[in-house]
Amino acid sequence: MNITKTNPGADTARADTPAMLPPVDVVEDTTRIVLYADLPGVPKDKLNLRVEADTLTIEAEVSLPMNTQMEASHAEVQVPRFQRSFTLGQELDRAHISAELKNGVLTLTIPKAEHAKPRRIEVVAA
Amino acid sequence: MYRNPFTSDLLAELERLQRQAQRFTGPATSIRGYDRLGFPALNVGGTPDSVEVYAFAPGLDPKTIDVTVERGVLSISGERAATLPQAGAPGGGATVHINERFQGRFQRAISLSDDADPARVSASYTNGVLHISVKRRESSQPRRIEVH
């Protein structure tokens, strides 16, 4: 998997292909934001993470080992593609995003920039 | 659109209409937020000698997934643990902004055709997809009979 930073406006051609919206959980604490996305059936090499200006985009393709003779009789997942975008605030350090893909769950950790972390100020008795 | 004129269950009709309406939410098929009835999503298909089932169930420990076949019904069940901090937990300060992913107990069942052999079932879990293959009984394979 690769996280690439591209110029705004580049590579938007795929935005029109139908895709599923992966369900996500987003948690924020004092030092970072963590995003969990369900991407079942996506191997590491089919996952594409992009940060363009303020937008984080997750794009992935489902790749299942399938018998070529198989005929589907009931398909609840019909589009083998995921795509979802999020806007990131200025306080997030997009240069240090880390990602892990395990058992079809993507965990993205986006740390907050140093200047945005809360700092406790000592109050001294005067 | 199929409407059953003989329905006496209004609630089921309303649910069916709502499901149909949800399908037309735009050009992209949306799978956001598995609801209680729909996790994991299933794709079922067949080959000449097997029935193939794919359950889209990411984030599980394969040892805790229960796959059983009883009286011709294949049942997939288990529990997905919450990855989010519970409200009021210590080490606090964490805020949950979005919570769409399914968590909790789930169970889905598929009826298998008569020619599926429950003694020949294999299951594997890769990239969050549970793949179950049920071989069809040998005696049900079409056989060509020689004419002398």
**Tens of pLDDT along A106-126?**
999 999 988 777 777 888 888
What are the chain A neighbours of B38 within 8 Å (beta carbons)? 76
Cα–Cα nearest to A45, from A28, A59, A34, A32: A59
Q: Please tell me if residue A104 touches chain B, with a CB cutoff of 8 Å.
A: yes
Q: Report, as an integer, the average pLDDT of B70-96.
A: 79
| B80, B82, B34, B87 alpha-carbon torsion, rounded to 10° | 150
Q: Among residues A25, A103, A98, A19, which one has the least CA distance to residue A61?
A: A19
Size of interface A-B (CB pairs under 8 A): 138
Average pLDDT taken over every residue of chain B: 81
Which residues in chain A have Cβ-Cβ distances shorter than 8 Å to B125? 103
Q: How far is CA B5 from CA A86, B2, B20, in A?
A: 45, 9, 17
**Which two three-digit tokens encode residue B53?**
């089932």
**Secondary structure of residue B8 in the 3-state scheme:** coil
The answer, yes or no, to whether residue A3 has pLDDT greater than 80, is no
Distance from CA of B111 to the nearest CA of A (A): 12
Tokens found for residue B138: 């040998």
User: Of the candidates B44, B84, B102, which has its C-beta nearest A74's C-beta?
Assistant: B44
pTM value is 0.75
Using pLDDT thresholds of 50, 70 and 90, give the confidence band for residue B126.
very high
Residue among B27, B45, B126 whose CB faces A72 most closely: B45
For residue B24, pLDDT beyond 60: no
For residue A36, give the nearest of B60, B83, B93 by CB distance.
B83
Mean pLDDT over B119-148 rounds to 89
pLDDT in tens, A11-70: 444 556 789 999 999 999 989 999 999 999 999 999 999 999 889 999 999 998 887 788
Whether B47 contacts A70, CB under 8 Å: yes
ipTM greater than 0.85, yes or no? no
Tell me the per-residue pLDDT of B30-64, one tens digit each, with 9 for 90 and over: 454 445 557 899 999 999 899 999 999 999 999 99
pLDDT of B33 reads 43
Selected for mutation to probe chain B from A56, A103, A117, A120 (highest B CB count within 10 Å) is A103
